[in-house]
């Protein structure tokens, strides 16, 4: 179980690094992104492991990845280029 938690934390770290590298202009400070990715992965692993029980390591890692990506997506800001409509005359 310790290795499963460590694996999910590493998975969250990798996903957070990838998001920070790819979407740096749309995310807040890098430490917040890394902490959110790791915390989301650990929480996702905990929820999946609790729901499915022991012996489902790959599914637990999949649940960790899903919750980590969902948590990271909540940090995204809108793109800088927003079209503004002109006021009707």
Q: What is the pTM of this model?
A: 0.84
- Residues 59-86 as b/e (b if ≥16 CB within 10 A, e otherwise) read ebbebbbebbbebbeebeeeeeeeeeee
Residues 6-16, mean pLDDT to the nearest whole number: 96
What is the model's pLDDT at position 86?
A: 63
CA atoms within 13 A on the CB side of 26: 13
Residue where the block lists tokens 């499915």: 52
pLDDT for 14: 96
DSSP for residue 84: P
The per-residue pLDDT for 9 is 96
């Amino acid at each position: 179980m310790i290795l499963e938690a460590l694996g999910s934390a590493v998975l969250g770290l990798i996903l957070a690094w990838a998001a920070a590298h790819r979407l740096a202009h749309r995310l807040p400070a890098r430490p917040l992104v890394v902490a959110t990715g790791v915390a989301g992965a650990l929480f996702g692993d905990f929820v999946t492991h609790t729901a499915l029980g022991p012996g489902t390591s790959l599914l637990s890692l999949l649940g960790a990845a899903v919750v980590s990506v969902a948590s990271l997506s909540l940090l995204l800001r809108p793109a800088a280029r927003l079209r503004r409509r002109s006021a009707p005359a």
